[in-house]
Chain A
Amino acid sequence: MLTGALIVVISFAYVGLLFAIAYYGDKRADSGRSIIANPYIYTLSLAVYCTSWTFYGSVGRAATTGIGFLPIYLGPTLMAALWWYVLLKMVRISKAHRITSIADFIGSRYGKSHLLGGLVTIIAVLGIVPYIALQLKAISASFTTILQYPNTLVSFTSETMPFVQDNTFYVAMLLAAFTILFGTRHLDATERHEGLVAAIAFESVVKLVAFIAVGLFVTFGMFDGFDDLFSKAAAVPELNALLVQGGAGGNYTTWASLTVLSMLAIILLPRQFQVAVVENVNERHLNKAIWLFPLYLFAINIFVLPIALGGMMHFPAGTVDADTFVLTLPLSEQKTWLALLAFVGGLSASTGMVIVETIALSTMVCNDLVMPILLRWKFLGLTERADLSNLLLAIRRSAIVLVLALGYGYFYLAGEAYALVSIGLISFSAVAQFAPAMLGGLFWKGGTRLGALYGLSAGFLVWLYSLLLPSFAKSGWLPITFLTEGIFGIDLLKPQQLLGLQGMDEITHCLFWSMIVNVGLYVSVSLWRRPTAAEHSQANLFVDVLRHVAAGSGSRFWRGSATVADLQTLLGRFIGPERASESFAAYARSQGINGVEQLTANAVLVHYVESQIAGSIGSASARDMVASVVVEEPLALEEVMTIIDEASQALAYSRQLEQKSRELEAATNELRSANQRLQELDRLKDDFISTVTHELRTPLTSIRAFSEILGDNPQLESDQRTKFLGIITRESERLTRLINQVLDLAKIESGAAEWHPSALDMREVIEDATTALSQIYKGRGIQLTTDLPDGLPVVYADRDRIFQVVLNLLSNAANFCDKPESKVHVSVIEEDTALRIEISDNGIGISAADQNIIFEKFRQVSDAMAGKPKGSGLGLAISREIVQHYKGRLWVVSTPGLGSTFAFTLPLPRSKLAFLAA
């Protein structure tokens, strides 16, 4: 038989062990050799989720609802699968902004709102304090059970005992001391508590080992393994019902709502936020925790059913409370030490929860409730006080004592009342109210402070009305008519049948209504009002956190001026001057700046200081404090929009730059090819000049040679003199013609030529040209015929130029005709859009290769049969220029030996086209 003294000693020894572990953990952390910086400790610390409610309550719940206890563990398992996205975001945001609690997180998300942070704190305290009380009750009940066994049904009521004699009171005091010691050792910007986490992880091991030990004992000691146990249970009809889903195990709606609730609880319970987010050392630890944590849950649940079934078969119905099976089964078999281990396991489940929850709540109360109010009360002069760190510590410690005192007080007053028994799920329902603001805030930029405030308040009120107050009524603190008839006797306002909704259990009912109003208001109010500038900037930082660089990302939307000294002094007031100067030095190093005095008070530094202070007093207050030394120019929404505009302009500008650079590249290519063209033209020009020079020198050579011959030989016979003088004259004419044509071509090509267009009758032009050349044709015996139809449409062109073209083509034709019976035929053909003039000869013809080059300058066709061509070599080039000037074409078709046809077109005026079309 266990004596009370032994149990007390063991209890205190156990808590003493926690002190030792926490102390060791802190020592190691101080010396930089963390014992918690691994995913296993992280996972074990997450197992603070499993409280005495798990340790004792699961068995109790299994005894009444069978597998109905499972959703509470199914939810977290499902949620764990989403951690890599949801929790990772929360961790990264919290690290970047030094967020210390869930109240801080939500307040910070919606524009660093004091009001929202405060509201979350109040909801958390109201929802969680009874839960803490439940843990204290578990300690007390287990103590009584183990002490008074086998008198198992002696009702333990705290009212019978003054609290100074209640061991639970001392346990609570001890826990307060522990929490103060390891939870508020110093004010750290990161607000991490390594020793505490180490102790919590240790507790998770203890409760798991203890529970499995009892399970193994029941399954293999009292029965012959699972087969034996389950087959014996299946033989008992009322036990068999427990094993079937949908039987005693609760209906599907209950399952669904409990699963959803526990999914939310695993990330929204303040203690879970504390261990999973705030105490997280390295976000990579999440990767392992995602599958390790569900594994832990699985392990601690394996023996729930065996213990429950074993207990129910072992004890006569109604003699032992199923909640105590974990203790009473070993006791009934005289396994005292196993019962003691189970007791310690239960103790560890309770204390772990109480410690972490207290830390989390006290941080919230201090940072999000007390400090904002104190800082606002100007008469306290807090904003001027030099060192606030001691005050902060005092507040934090008082908050711890307060939270535990509230918990103990609730336990002391509520006792066995219904309000305590069912508080686990009621707490879950309370924190579930954070879900819309939290998850919406993580993934939806449109969520606003007002939306969160309305949704949270309304959801909270529904929870209060439909779950908390009814639990009070069931405890007898409120008239039971409140529950059965509704407030003021209005049926529709029956707390657990709101608007007549029936057929749901109370948890599902509350979840249904509270989520409808919470989500509904959050979304609709958010959509109704545009976010303010501050909300907008925070929304971007939170929602896009996985895309931002973590450090200093909050500084983008900030403008203002401050001095480094002011900022350092400010930080010193919260974390102490020495730590502040260390912190500034560390910051300077991280920025690669040589010494604090070199720092400039830019946005990044201000943000750094703000986040350091945020660790101590919460982000909303931190912003106020920074604002007291920083002359900040507040950003209106318009300015944020301007910043965004500038960003998009910068983007557009960079696109323009890209475009410009592409254009530049294209221009460079054009320049390059233009340059090549120029070089080509330069070469052509050189060739041209060289050719012109040659063409000029040739007649000059003759002229000079014969002039000198005539001069040197006065005795020359007269017919020879006449011949030589004739050559000189002819060559002079040739020279003149050449010079004129070169100048002519140059003028046309450079665009300097004058054009005098008029209405031309091509028939008349051609007749004039044939008349002009008739003597030459006659002289050479070439027959010239024409086919010039009447009523040809007029074309608009320079008469002299077109005449020049016809004349040139006619004289070329004559030159190509060197045989008897040569014929040249000129015709005009009217086409749809142009007149075509053809000049055909039956002369020597032009080879296909030569047809391409005869239009080039000085490229005459010289054939052995034709002898030396007689033209300047510029006639066709000039003719083509003229025709092309009037948008016509000049070309040749020829068969060598049979003759050539030169043709050119002159477009008809548009009015003529219009006339034809009509």
Chain B
Amino acid sequence: MPVHALIVEDEESILLSLEFLLTQEGYSVATAQDGAAALKAASARIPDLVLLDVMLPHIDGFEVCRRMRANPALRNTRIMMVTARGRETEVELGMALGADDFLTKPFSTRELMGKIRILLGKTTGSPPA
């Protein structure tokens, strides 16, 4: 069963690029352009990975993260937050709310994919032993 990823991003061109990259990696990809749609999509099919933009209209990325973490069904889901502002406080807040990793825009596609592989390998990949 392929890794299922949910991309939450309101900026269309960025969403397009992320979708291309994860599809190329062989993941099944779902997308959402705001917080409400993201939560709906996550409960419709539990993703292994969520790429979550912080600056979302109405319900922002932090709130989405908090609600996802409050959902026991999503306890194994890895959440990587993506922000264009890159403030220390945002990183800390995101991590405190239960995000697994943080990435700042603009990012290197290789770095992004590397982080994702590590993130998924830790939990879903075969244990080293």
B65 to A: closest C-beta gap in Å: 18
A705 adjacent to B14 (CB under 8 Å) = yes
Give Cα A709 to B113, complex, Å.
12
B109 to A: closest C-beta gap in Å: 4
Asked if B121 lies at the interface with its beta carbon under 8 angstroms from chain A, I say no
B85 adjacent to A705 (CB under 8 Å) = no
**Interface size, A (range):** 20 to 34
- B33 surroundings in chain A (CB, below 8 A): 868
Give Cα A375 to B42, complex, Å.
121
B55 adjacent to A702 (CB under 8 Å) = no
B60 to A: closest C-beta gap in Å: 12
Closest chain B residue to A862, Cβ basis: B57
Tell me which of A693, A699, A703, A727 contacts B85 (CB under 8 A): A693
A708 adjacent to B110 (CB under 8 Å) = yes
A58 to B: closest C-beta gap in Å: 107
Tell me which of A697, A712, A868 contacts B105 (CB under 8 A): A697
Asked if A701 lies at the interface with its beta carbon under 8 angstroms from chain B, I say yes
Tell me which of B10, B16, B84, B108 contacts A704 (CB under 8 A): B108
Asked if B126 lies at the interface with its beta carbon under 8 angstroms from chain A, I say no
- A157 surroundings in chain B (CB, below 8 A): none
A709 adjacent to B17 (CB under 8 Å) = yes
A728 to B: closest C-beta gap in Å: 9
Asked if A690 lies at the interface with its beta carbon under 8 angstroms from chain B, I say yes
Asked if A731 lies at the interface with its beta carbon under 8 angstroms from chain B, I say yes
Q: Mark B72-107, 1 if CB is under 8 A from A, else 0.
A: 000000000000111100000000000000000111
Considering only residues 1-46 of chain B, those with a C-beta below 8 Å from chain A are: 10-14, 16-18, 20-21, 24, 33-34
Asked if A698 lies at the interface with its beta carbon under 8 angstroms from chain B, I say yes
Tell me which of B17, B55, B84 contacts A705 (CB under 8 A): B17
- B17 surroundings in chain A (CB, below 8 A): 701-702, 705-706, 709
- B58 surroundings in chain A (CB, below 8 A): 864
The answer to whether A708 and B108 touch (CB under 8 A), given A697-B84, A862-B57, is: yes
Closest chain A residue to B37, Cβ basis: A864
B21 adjacent to A698 (CB under 8 Å) = no
A859 to B: closest C-beta gap in Å: 12
A709 adjacent to B13 (CB under 8 Å) = no
Give Cα A697 to B20, complex, Å.
20
Considering only residues 667-697 of chain A, those with a C-beta below 8 Å from chain B are: 690, 693-694, 697
Considering only residues 747-795 of chain A, those with a C-beta below 8 Å from chain B are: none
Give Cα A705 to B108, complex, Å.
7
Give Cα A704 to B111, complex, Å.
12
Asked if A493 lies at the interface with its beta carbon under 8 angstroms from chain B, I say no
Considering only residues 830-889 of chain A, those with a C-beta below 8 Å from chain B are: 862, 864, 868
Closest chain B residue to A697, Cβ basis: B84
Number of A-B contacts (CB under 8 A): 66
Asked if A213 lies at the interface with its beta carbon under 8 angstroms from chain B, I say no
Closest chain A residue to B13, Cβ basis: A702
B57 to A: closest C-beta gap in Å: 5
**Interface size, B (range):** 20 to 34
Asked if A700 lies at the interface with its beta carbon under 8 angstroms from chain B, I say yes
A694 to B: closest C-beta gap in Å: 4
A703 adjacent to B106 (CB under 8 Å) = yes
Residue of A694, A698, A705, A706 with most chain B CB atoms under a 10 A cut-off = A705
- B84 surroundings in chain A (CB, below 8 A): 693-694, 697-698, 701
A702 adjacent to B107 (CB under 8 Å) = no
B12 adjacent to A701 (CB under 8 Å) = no
Closest chain B residue to A693, Cβ basis: B85
A690 adjacent to B107 (CB under 8 Å) = no
B57 adjacent to A700 (CB under 8 Å) = no
B87 to A: closest C-beta gap in Å: 7
A866 to B: closest C-beta gap in Å: 10
A702 adjacent to B21 (CB under 8 Å) = no
A868 adjacent to B107 (CB under 8 Å) = no
Closest chain B residue to A868, Cβ basis: B10
Give Cα A375 to B11, complex, Å.
113
B109 adjacent to A708 (CB under 8 Å) = yes
Give Cα A701 to B55, complex, Å.
14
A709 adjacent to B21 (CB under 8 Å) = yes
B110 to A: closest C-beta gap in Å: 7
- B18 surroundings in chain A (CB, below 8 A): 705
- B21 surroundings in chain A (CB, below 8 A): 705, 709
Give Cα A701 to B18, complex, Å.
11
Considering only residues 42-63 of chain A, those with a C-beta below 8 Å from chain B are: none
Closest chain B residue to A727, Cβ basis: B13
Considering only residues 69-84 of chain A, those with a C-beta below 8 Å from chain B are: none
A530 to B: closest C-beta gap in Å: 82
B27 to A: closest C-beta gap in Å: 16
Give Cα A698 to B13, complex, Å.
9
Give Cα A713 to B109, complex, Å.
12
The answer to whether A705 and B11 touch (CB under 8 A), given A727-B16, A862-B57, is: no
A705 adjacent to B107 (CB under 8 Å) = yes
Closest chain A residue to B87, Cβ basis: A690
A871 to B: closest C-beta gap in Å: 14
A498 to B: closest C-beta gap in Å: 109
Give Cα A700 to B87, complex, Å.
17
Give Cα A387 to B68, complex, Å.
114
Closest chain B residue to A706, Cβ basis: B17
B8 to A: closest C-beta gap in Å: 14
A861 to B: closest C-beta gap in Å: 10
Tell me which of B13, B57, B107, B108 contacts A731 (CB under 8 A): B13
Give Cα A730 to B12, complex, Å.
12
Give Cα A620 to B24, complex, Å.
121
Give Cα A701 to B14, complex, Å.
7
A393 to B: closest C-beta gap in Å: 99
The answer to whether A697 and B106 touch (CB under 8 A), given A705-B14, A709-B17, A709-B20, is: yes
Please, could you name 12 A-B residue pairs with CB atoms under 8 Å apart, sorted by A?
A690-B87, A694-B55, A694-B85, A697-B106, A698-B14, A698-B84, A699-B13, A701-B14, A701-B105, A705-B106, A705-B107, A868-B10
**A residues engaging B (CB < 8 A)?**
690, 693-694, 697-706, 708-709, 712-713, 727, 730-731, 862, 864, 868
A-B complex: 6 closest residue pairs judged by Cβ atoms: A705-B17, A702-B13, A697-B84, A701-B106, A701-B105, A708-B109
Known A727-B13, A868-B10; further 7 A-B contacts with Cβ < 8 A: A694-B55, A701-B105, A704-B106, A705-B21, A730-B13, A864-B34, A868-B12
